[in-house]
């Protein structure tokens, strides 16, 4: 599976997708984001469109999480690499920052 476009491969692509479940997800700055619980697919286009995360870092995503929400979906285009862990763009870290917070930095 290519992280850059999420295409499914014919040589064991489905097996590769199932191995994502349970992997920890970090930003490219090393900040824990969550754990992969499921994969969102566009079956018609045969592409991965997102990763459903559980065990999420509530501090990181507090402003995006509504009451009682247990997880989040990260767009697959944010995935930078997949190995023992999944690395996503640091854009996830900026989701919890207000414009006012940016001005203070």
**Rounded mean pLDDT for each run of 10 residues along the chain, 105 residues in total:** 44 64 93 92 87 83 62 89 91 58 31
Going from N- to C-terminal start, the domains of the chain cover 13-94
Position 50 scores a pLDDT of 92
Q: Residue 59 has what pLDDT?
A: 75
| Residue ranges in 19-65 assigned as alpha helix (H) | 58-61
pLDDT value of position 20: 86
Query: What dotted CATH number matches 13-94?
Result: 2.30.30.240
pLDDT of residue 43: 86
Q: What are the tens digits of pLDDT across the range 41-68?
A: 888 888 889 999 988 887 776 555 665 6
Give residue 56's pLDDT.
83
How many CB atoms sit inside 10 A of residue 54's CB?
13
Q: pLDDT value at position 90?
A: 84
Kindly report whether the global pTM for this prediction surpasses the value 0.85.
Answer: no
Give residue 69's pLDDT. Answer: 66
């Amino acid at each position: 599976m290519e992280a850059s476009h999420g295409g499914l491969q014919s040589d064991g692509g489905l097996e590769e997708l199932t191995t994502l479940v349970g992997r920890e997800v970090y930003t490219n700055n090393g900040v824990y984001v969550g754990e992969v619980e499921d994969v969102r697919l566009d079956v018609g286009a045969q592409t991965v469109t997102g990763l459903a995360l559980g065990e999420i870092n509530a501090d990181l995503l507090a402003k995006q999480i509504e009451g009682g929400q247990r997880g989040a979906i990260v767009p697959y285009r944010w995935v930078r690499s997949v190995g023992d862990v999944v690395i996503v763009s640091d854009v996830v870290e900026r989701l919890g920052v207000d414009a006012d917070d940016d001005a203070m930095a």
